[in-house]
Amino acid sequence: MRPLLFVLITLLMFFLPNRLLTTEPVHEYLGCALLILGGIHLWLERAYLRALFWRRLPMTALNTVNIIILLLLAVTLVSGILISLYALPIVRLRGLASIYVHAVHLSAGVLLFLVVGVHVGLHARMLWRALLRRIPLRIPRTMPRVLYVVGILLTAAGIHRFITTRIYDKILFEHLSFGGLTGTWTYQCDLLLMFLACACLAIFYQSWRMRK
């Protein structure tokens, strides 16, 4: 169940930053779905979370990333509920307060998306081993080198799109738009490249740590 949940949450995270592609009502309902699936995921990992917050676990890269994800998730969900107009119209903030909360929601959401990419990369080895246990594959000896080159290319492409789309303006509250500067599907591809770049950087980091 955990691998399926992991995949579903990742797919939801992929579409949430591009509200112009999904429309605002769909964006809010996708956020609610993320809240439900994320809640189930946290419940299944409650023993780990208890140990993490009581500082019984070493502060590894994965544990640090998990803490950051939880904080960003809390900020994103609370701010999203405050400005929700369709799925959870409880508060429905208006005026200047709504603009500030919208900026916080957008910034935290983009950061969460990128950090989840790092999280996926740190879990890549575990997911790959789980896949091989279910589907035995004969992997050529040259495959690791090919994947290494592909990873470098994806990282370079993701960093390039991070700069050219100026997505950092959203993080710094400079650009209050859920879409990109170009078409929505083009922006979706940009998001995918940035996500994969974060995942590849995490994989490279793990490989470097294992060689030390």
How does the average pLDDT of the chain come out, rounded?
86
| Containing structural domain, residue 159 | 2-211
Give me the pLDDT at residue 63, please: 92
* pLDDT for 175 beyond 70: no
Distance, CA of 103 to CA of 106 (rounded, Å): 5
Q: In terms of pLDDT, which residue wins out, 8 or 2? A: 8
Q: What is the dihedral of CA 157, 181, 29, 80, to 10 degrees?
A: 100
Give me the pLDDT at residue 115, please: 95
Question: What residues contact 204, with CB distance under 8 A and at least 6 apart?
Answer: 151, 155
Residue that has been written with the tokens 């993490």 in this structure: 52
pLDDT digits (tens, 9 = 90+) for 36-78: 998 999 999 999 988 888 877 888 899 999 999 999 999 999 9
Give me the pLDDT at residue 128, please: 75
Give me the pLDDT at residue 141, please: 78
Give me the pLDDT at residue 162, please: 93
| Token representation of residue 182 | 């170009």
pLDDT band at 2 (very low <50, low <70, confident <90, very high): confident
For the chain, where are the alpha helices, taking DSSP H only? 2-15, 19-22, 24-44, 46-53, 61-83, 95-122, 124-134, 143-164, 168-171, 184-211
Distance, CA of 105 to CA of 176 (rounded, Å): 10
pLDDT band at 178 (very low <50, low <70, confident <90, very high): low
Tell me if 168 sits within 8 A of 113, measured CB to CB.
no
| Token representation of residue 184 | 């929505």
Q: In terms of pLDDT, which residue wins out, 129 or 82? A: 82
Domain count within the chain: 1
pLDDT digits (tens, 9 = 90+) for 143-165: 778 889 999 999 999 999 999 98
Angle between helices 124-134 and 2-15 (to 10 degrees): 130
Mean pLDDT of 117-145: 80
The residue type of 113 is F
**1-15, 95-109, 111-125, 127-141: range with lowest mean pLDDT:** 127-141
